[in-house]
Chain A
Amino acid sequence: MEILYENLLNLDWKMVVMWLIGAVLIFLAIKKDMEPTLLLPLGFGTILVNLPLSGAVTQVVDGVEQEGALTTLFNAGISNELFPLILFIGIGAMIDFGPLLSNPKLMLFGAAAQFGIFFTLCAASVFFDIKDAASIAIIGAADGPTSIVVAQKLNSNYLGAIMVAAYSYMALVPMIQPPVIKLLTTKKERLIRMEYVSKPVSKITKILFPIIITVIAGLIAPASVSLIGFLMFGNLIRECGVLDSLAETAQKVLANLITIFLGITIASQMRAEEFLKKETLLILGLGLFAFVFDTAGGVIFAKVINLFAKKKINPMIGAAGISAFPMSGRVVHKLARSEDPENFLLMQATGVNVSGQIASVIAGGMILNFFG
């Protein structure tokens, strides 16, 4: 009879708290539609790994190590960065660099909006050792796979918290960015209209672009080669014109398969003893800090450019330089239309948003070059 309830005696309050956190993540995914592809598996996995003596993760029972499926998946796909990198192939296959190639100068805003990463690095280093600080700072890349790769390569002790922060804030971009943008811009600036001229981009440019970016990024930041290389490989499949079937598979089936395993596998790092620490709250705060200063970096850079430019730029597009694609571009477009219903910034903001994807990966490579 005792065998039916003896495991209940292993339950402690911290596990119940983690169930509640898992339930909140599932609620946010289903009810609020916040990054459901990641938060739902992460939420369910959080409950799964916080059951007493959960067989989903490796446990030592009666002195014998019993390997759990999620630990096996973690070792096979996360600790060697395989899952996030494969996901990058799918993301690369989804991205249309057309608006960016049509107006390459927009890429400067993507670079400026990585400011939050490095500013957060300085702030986080006050509380954490430099490798953990760098892993936390990369939450500001607003790019889940980059955050996973960097945190994993730097052996961060806070992978679970970093993942929750990265994906939660990506979903919260429509709430985080508008107040920061409004704080840093005047109404007159927000009303600036930008003419969009779509220049034709040749097929050869679209094909050579991912190859050249990989070479340039690899020469300057070799640690970024796997990140940028997989992203650009996916894009090359998309643009080459002879692998449509593979491109479609990468965009849909491959990305979906990896996403299913990514969330639930990362949940293996969400065990109560690893997650319920005061550092977790600090990491969530620093992640928000990174997103705010990314946004500020892009907007302020655009304002500085306006001091010298003849044709004024709507500084709001600088905020789209964070990598959260396509939310950030849409946020800027909506904000512009809320000020002036005739002001359409979608194409410019999308171009900047795509450049943020490239710049955030380069930033991840820089961080790895410094501290890897």
Chain B
Amino acid sequence: MNIEVSNFVDNLYYMGIGMLGIFIVIGLIIAVTMILNAVTSPKKKNND
């Protein structure tokens, strides 16, 4: 087992891109879910 401290810094790139990727996918899922909720929720009756 070799200890390569420089690998920590080198792989920060994957940390950044990985977290960005997760937030993009989750953001899309949130957007789609909100649209689905808006489109499919029962419309409130206006009794004014």
Give residues in A with beta carbon < 8 Å to B.
101, 104-105, 107-108, 110-111, 114-115, 117-119, 121-123, 125-128, 130, 133, 199-202, 204-205, 208-209, 212-213, 216-217, 220-221, 278-279, 282, 355, 358-359, 362-363, 366-367, 370
**Sample (14) of A-B pairs whose CB atoms are under 8 Å apart:** A107-B26, A108-B23, A114-B22, A119-B15, A121-B18, A125-B4, A125-B10, A125-B11, A200-B42, A205-B33, A205-B37, A279-B1, A358-B26, A370-B17
Query: In the assembled complex, which residues on chain B have CB atoms less than 8 Å from the CB atom of A105?
Result: 30
Instruction: Please pick, from A133, A279, A282, A363, the residue contacting B22 in the complex, using a CB distance under 8 A.
Output: A363
0/1 string, B1-19, CB within 8 A of A gives 1? 1111101111110110111
Question: In whole Å, how far is A157's beta carbon from the nearest beta carbon of chain B?
Answer: 11
Query: In the assembled complex, which residues on chain B have CB atoms less than 8 Å from the CB atom of A358?
Result: 26, 29
Query: In the assembled complex, which residues on chain A have CB atoms less than 8 Å from the CB atom of B42?
Result: 200, 202
Question: In whole Å, how far is B25's beta carbon from the nearest beta carbon of chain A?
Answer: 5
Question: In whole Å, how far is B1's beta carbon from the nearest beta carbon of chain A?
Answer: 6
Contact A126 B3 (CB under 8 A): yes
Tell me whether A110 and B26 are in contact in the complex, defined as CB-CB below 8 angstroms, given that A199-B41, A209-B33, A220-B21 are known contacts. yes
Q: Which of A108, A122, A127, A278 has its CB near the most chain B CB atoms (within 10 A)?
A: A122
Contact A362 B19 (CB under 8 A): no
Instruction: Please pick, from B1, B5, B23, B40, the residue contacting A278 in the complex, using a CB distance under 8 A.
Output: B1
Contact B36 A127 (CB under 8 A): no
Contact A126 B7 (CB under 8 A): yes
Give residues in B with beta carbon < 8 Å to A.
1-5, 7-12, 14-15, 17-19, 21-30, 32-34, 36-37, 40-42
Q: Total A-B residue pairs with C-beta atoms closer than 8 Å?
A: 117
Query: In the assembled complex, which residues on chain B have CB atoms less than 8 Å from the CB atom of A363?
Result: 18, 22
Contact B1 A118 (CB under 8 A): no
Query: In the assembled complex, which residues on chain A have CB atoms less than 8 Å from the CB atom of B41?
Result: 199-202, 205
Assembled-state Cα–Cα distance A110/B4 (Å): 31
Query: In the assembled complex, which residues on chain B have CB atoms less than 8 Å from the CB atom of A115?
Result: 19
Instruction: Please pick, from B5, B22, B28, the residue contacting A126 in the complex, using a CB distance under 8 A.
Output: B5
Question: In whole Å, how far is A200's beta carbon from the nearest beta carbon of chain B?
Answer: 7
Question: In whole Å, how far is B19's beta carbon from the nearest beta carbon of chain A?
Answer: 6
Contact B26 A366 (CB under 8 A): no
Tell me whether A220 and B25 are in contact in the complex, defined as CB-CB below 8 angstroms, given that A104-B34, A208-B36, A212-B32 are known contacts. yes
Question: In whole Å, how far is B23's beta carbon from the nearest beta carbon of chain A?
Answer: 5
Question: In whole Å, how far is B28's beta carbon from the nearest beta carbon of chain A?
Answer: 5
Contact A108 B15 (CB under 8 A): no
Question: In whole Å, how far is A183's beta carbon from the nearest beta carbon of chain B?
Answer: 22
Closest A-B pairs by Cβ, 7 of them: A118-B15, A202-B40, A104-B33, A125-B7, A111-B26, A122-B11, A205-B36
Q: Which residue of B is nearest A360, CB measured?
A: B22
Contact A204 B24 (CB under 8 A): no
Assembled-state Cα–Cα distance A359/B27 (Å): 11
Q: Which residue of A is nearest B37, CB measured?
A: A205
Tell me whether A118 and B19 are in contact in the complex, defined as CB-CB below 8 angstroms, given that A220-B24, A359-B26 are known contacts. yes
Tell me whether A118 and B14 are in contact in the complex, defined as CB-CB below 8 angstroms, given that A101-B37, A104-B30, A104-B33 are known contacts. yes
Q: Which residue of B is nearest A228, CB measured?
A: B25
Assembled-state Cα–Cα distance A363/B23 (Å): 10
Contact B26 A108 (CB under 8 A): yes
Question: In whole Å, how far is A185's beta carbon from the nearest beta carbon of chain B?
Answer: 22
Contact B25 A216 (CB under 8 A): yes
